[in-house]
A = this chain, B = another copy of it.
């Protein structure tokens, strides 16, 4: 009998990570989900993460609490900075300094404890917000680091960091997820949802998501705030 392949999957509650989890499961991995309660403004994504993980029948879901508000510097972790409601040139203010480095580092620590040598992250370098830590060169550099940083790496195991969405458009991601049975109605992408979790419809994340459903020709299950319904 072949040994069970274990993976750690970063699940934010958004569309991309829900798709990534489905891809990892289809590839035969026994998935362990990890989510981060990092002081994000859009905390309701954590509840979405729980729904996504349950629906995928993943039994082990770790939620790590860490306070990135302490560090600040982003509209997502600093309440005094507004979430922009229109695209901007360059890297937007929703960029959270070193976020994916921190998240992957924590996922790596847990992966090493579990004996899971495959880590899945739903970053995307096509329809994305321009974050530096969503690029293929970042993922490759982290994978290299992971194998130098850990006991398992030193002892001859190889950690692989998988970013299966990295070269897909948002429409392709959605199509792939639909094929795999992902229920996107459970996911939340908005950076600035209201208290009920309804999406603002105007931030970068909403815009990319809405355009993705449109381009894929798939009905958008997102619940938008009444004030922001498409004109």
Distance between Cα atoms of A149 and B66 in the complex (Å): 19
Interface assignment of A217: CB less than 8 Å from any CB of chain B: no
B109 engages A97 (CB within 8 Å): yes
Interface assignment of A132: CB less than 8 Å from any CB of chain B: yes
What is the interface size of chain A, counting residues whose CB is below 8 A from a CB of the partner?
44
Q: Which residues of B lie under 8 Å from residue A97 when comparing CB positions?
A: 108-110, 112-113, 150-151
Interface assignment of A105: CB less than 8 Å from any CB of chain B: yes
Interface assignment of A5: CB less than 8 Å from any CB of chain B: no
* Chain A interface helix/strand/loop/mixed: helix
A150 engages B98 (CB within 8 Å): yes
Q: Which residues of B lie under 8 Å from residue A151 when comparing CB positions?
A: 91, 95, 97, 132
A98 engages B133 (CB within 8 Å): no
Q: How far is the CB of A170 from chain B (nearest CB, A)?
A: 22
Known contacts A66-B66, A67-B64, A141-B141; A132 and B149 CB within 8 A of each other: yes
Q: Which residues of B lie under 8 Å from residue A155 when comparing CB positions?
A: 91
Q: How far is the CB of A121 from chain B (nearest CB, A)?
A: 13
Interface assignment of A126: CB less than 8 Å from any CB of chain B: no
Interface assignment of A100: CB less than 8 Å from any CB of chain B: yes
Distance between Cα atoms of A132 and B150 in the complex (Å): 6
Chain B, residue nearest A96 (CB): B109
Known contacts A135-B148, A148-B141, A154-B91; A109 and B64 CB within 8 A of each other: no
Distance between Cα atoms of A153 and B206 in the complex (Å): 27
Q: Which residues of B lie under 8 Å from residue A138 when comparing CB positions?
A: 145, 148-149
Q: How far is the CB of A4 from chain B (nearest CB, A)?
A: 19
Q: Which residues of B lie under 8 Å from residue A27 when comparing CB positions?
A: none
Q: Which 5 A-B pairs have the closest CB atoms?
A: A98-B109, A73-B113, A66-B66, A97-B109, A97-B112
16 more contacts with CB within 8 A, not counting A73-B109, A98-B149, A101-B105, are: A62-B71, A65-B66, A65-B70, A68-B109, A71-B106, A91-B155, A98-B109, A98-B150, A100-B149, A133-B149, A138-B149, A141-B149, A142-B145, A142-B149, A144-B145, A145-B145
